[in-house]
C-alpha cells in the first residue's frame, strides 16, 4: 500500500508545484530509499510509476517488487 500511496503523493505534489517538485525525494521519504520512481510525461498529463522492493518471506510467495501508478493531469 505504501508504494501506491507514494505514487499518489508524488502525482499530487507535481500538480501543486506545477511539475517543479523532487518526486524521487518524496517517494524515498514515503516508501524507503530503495523505491524507484519514473515520470512519463505526455500530452496534458504525467504518469508517476513507483516500484518498491519487497522482502520475500521464507516460502518465497511474495513478488520481488510491488508497483504503484498515479496520473497527474495538468489543468490550463
Q: Give the pLDDT of residue 70.
A: 96
Contacts of 38 (CB under 8 A, 6+ apart): 48, 49, 50, 51
Q: Give the pLDDT of residue 38.
A: 95
Q: Give the pLDDT of residue 18.
A: 85
**Percent of the chain scoring above 70 in pLDDT:** 87
Sites in the chain below the pLDDT cut of 50? none
Q: Give the pLDDT of residue 62.
A: 65
- State which residues form the domain around 52: 2-73
Say which DSSP state 76 is in.
Answer: -
Q: How many domains does the chain have?
A: 1
- Could you give the residue ranges of the DSSP H alpha helices within 17-46? 23-31
Amino acid at each position: 500500500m505504501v508504494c501506491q500511496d507514494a505514487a499518489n503523493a508524488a502525482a499530487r505534489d507535481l500538480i501543486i508545484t506545477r511539475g517543479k517538485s523532487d518526486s524521487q525525494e518524496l517517494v524515498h521519504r514515503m516508501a524507503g530509499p530503495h523505491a524507484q520512481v519514473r515520470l512519463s510525461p505526455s500530452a496534458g498529463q504525467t504518469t508517476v510509476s513507483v516500484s518498491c522492493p519487497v522482502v520475500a518471506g521464507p516460502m518465497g510467495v511474495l513478488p520481488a517488487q510491488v508497483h504503484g501508478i498515479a496520473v497527474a493531469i495538468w489543468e490550463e
